[in-house]
């Protein structure tokens, strides 16, 4: 346990940051799942709309450095390819 005031404060901030990062990571995973679900349903128009919303979420989370920018780019690329390859 921290004994110095600054260390106690840092520990409190870390708890808050961890909770916020976890919530945003969960939001990211949900956005990706929604696109995959739309693709599985077979509705290309709906998949495009959901994909656009998820791209915004992915970019936002990459900007906050919760996910590396290259990882975000890879997710967007693969989801985009999946949406484009729909019949």
pTM for this prediction: 0.83
Give the pLDDT band of residue 1 (cuts 50, 70, 90): confident
pLDDT band at 17 (very low <50, low <70, confident <90, very high): very high
The class that CATH gives domain 5-84 is: mainly alpha
Closest-CA residue to 54 (of 34, 82, 73): 34
- How confident is the model over 18-31, as pLDDT tens digits? 999 999 999 999 99
Residues 6+ away with beta carbon under 8 Å from 82:
35, 36, 39
């Amino acid at each position: 346990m921290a004994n110095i005031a600054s260390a106690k404060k840092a520990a409190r901030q870390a708890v808050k940051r961890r909770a916020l990062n976890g919530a945003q990571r969960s939001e990211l995973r949900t956005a990706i799942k929604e696109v995959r679900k739309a693709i599985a349903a077979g509705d290309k128009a709906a998949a495009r709309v959901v994909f656009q919303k998820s791209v915004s979420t992915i970019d936002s989370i990459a900007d906050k450095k919760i996910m590396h920018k290259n990882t975000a780019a890879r997710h967007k690329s693969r989801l985009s390819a999946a949406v484009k390859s729909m019949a």
